[in-house]
Amino acid sequence: MAERNDAPLCGGVSAELQGADLEQAVELLNTSLAKVAATGDKPSFKVVKVKSVTSQVVAGRLYHYKLQLAQGDDIKESYVKIWTQPWLPENSINITIKCEGDDNVIESTF
């Protein structure tokens, strides 16, 4: 019988984040959304409710968020991906935002 190993698998998607890992991922989300809004040429979003967050070890870390985002008074089910590469001096974070019912995908790197 094979041993069970709960260590993260490189390239594998984690179980839903919890505790301090979840708090850190939500903080990264809020900071990234604020930077997107600060560009002035992209919409401003506010997190209404985080439904789930997973992460994946790639060349850096890729976070997958399933959540509700508000744009003004409009609340939409949304999917956000944030890819971090903290060793890069510039452009170390890439965010992709997709809202249900909206054909546009918002992408920004900073």
> What's the pLDDT score for residue 10?
63
Tell which phi-psi region holds residue 9, choosing left (phi > 0), alpha (psi between -120 and 50) or beta: beta
Among 92, 96, 62, which residue's Cα sits nearest to residue 79?
96
Q: Does the predicted TM-score (pTM) go above 0.85?
A: yes
pLDDT digits (tens, 9 = 90+) for 67-109: 999 999 999 999 999 999 999 988 899 999 999 999 999 999 9
Specify the fold of 19-109. Nuclear Transport Factor 2; Chain: A, (3.10.450)
Instruction: Give the whole-number percent of the chain exceeding pLDDT 90.
Output: 79
Cα separation, 105 vs 102, whole angstroms:
8
**Dist CA 33 CA 44 (whole Å):** 7
